[in-house]
Amino acid sequence: MRLARFEYNSVFSLGIVDPAAGTVAGVAAPSSAGDPMIAVIAAQLEGREFDLDGKQYRLADIRLAPPIAQPSKNILCVGKNYIEHAAEFVRSGFDASAKGVAGIVPEAPIIFSKAPCTMIGAHDDIRPPWAITNKVDYEGELGVVIGAGGRAISRDDAYRHVWGYTVINDMTARDLQAAHKQWLLGKSIDTFCPIGPWIVSTDEVDPGDLSIRCWVNGELRQDANTRDLIFDIPAIIEAISASMSLSTGDIIASGTPAGVGIGFDPPKFLHKGDRVRVAIDGIGELENAIV
């Protein structure tokens, strides 16, 4: 199942997407307050089916929105989670946490976060604040959406806490990431988290074998597979939930592979007018303009 949140005629709705047919079947709005996607996921976890509202939309007519607008906490992100990317990041000199190439592979997952105000839809514009950054970069990533919440989740139980998967572009201002040491400001610029185009339920995806690719203006920059994650999804969930409770609708960005802009010599940063496309087989793709 592909579950989207979208805007049509200035009204936000949820819907089940059939990409082959190019159609969206409206899902009845939940009666509870709060984030509607989290509400319908929670209802399904309690054994209730989605109620359709009888409306049909053409995929081409709607604006895809971030599937979840109000997660319980910041988007949780994993840094340096593919070996080749860890190496390119350390080499680039932008990694304020690096202690030289000997320490390329992290001993434990590096967890940071992005504020929810960064999220935009699959085709919305990315708006860098050019007055404070000229080193804007992309990071295509597999996103994980938590279903049943929990604390101290073991890696053996981890997949039981996943509701689905999505595509994330963990946009980053490298100059701010380096200047502020902590990555939060460089990662949390408004519009710096294209996400979607929808959430695909776990029954349709093998998260351990997904092709992930990223293009800038049609040039292939990242081309990897999630089987090469240093810390896999269960390891990430185990590590995060050892510290904090995970809640329904929480979002985890699992890390980016090699081929980001700072991986090139000289670096290939993004500029006004560029278009970034991130695709994960079996899930979908994002394509966002830099303005």
Read off the tokens for 65: 């929105």
Read off the tokens for 85: 């990317």
Q: Which is nearer to Mg ion, 170 or 238 (CB)?
A: 170
State the nearest-atom distance from the C-beta of 46 to Mg ion, in Å: 33
Q: Which is nearer to Mg ion, 57 or 89 (CB)?
A: 89
CB distance 153 to 161 below 8 Å:
yes
State the nearest-atom distance from the C-beta of 59 to Mg ion, in Å: 28
State the nearest-atom distance from the C-beta of 228 to Mg ion, in Å: 15
Q: What stretch of H or E contains 198?
A: strand 193-201
What is the binding site for Mg ion (CB under 5 A)?
Answer: 139, 170, 256
The total number of residues shown for the chain amounts to 291
State the nearest-atom distance from the C-beta of 279 to Mg ion, in Å: 16
State the nearest-atom distance from the C-beta of 51 to Mg ion, in Å: 36
| Residues 32, 143: Cα–Cα separation, whole Å | 26
Q: Which is nearer to Mg ion, 157 or 223 (CB)?
A: 223
Q: Which is nearer to Mg ion, 30 or 196 (CB)?
A: 196
| Residues 99, 44: Cα–Cα separation, whole Å | 46
Read off the tokens for 57: 């939309």
Read off the tokens for 112: 């940071």
Residue nearest to Mg ion (CB): 170
| Residues 15, 23: Cα–Cα separation, whole Å | 9
Q: Which is nearer to Mg ion, 150 or 186 (CB)?
A: 186
Q: Which is nearer to Mg ion, 59 or 279 (CB)?
A: 279
Q: Each residue of 3-23: b (16+ CB within 10 Å) or e?
A: bbbbebeeeebbbbbeeeeee
Q: What stretch of H or E contains 253?
A: strand 251-253
State the nearest-atom distance from the C-beta of 77 to Mg ion, in Å: 5
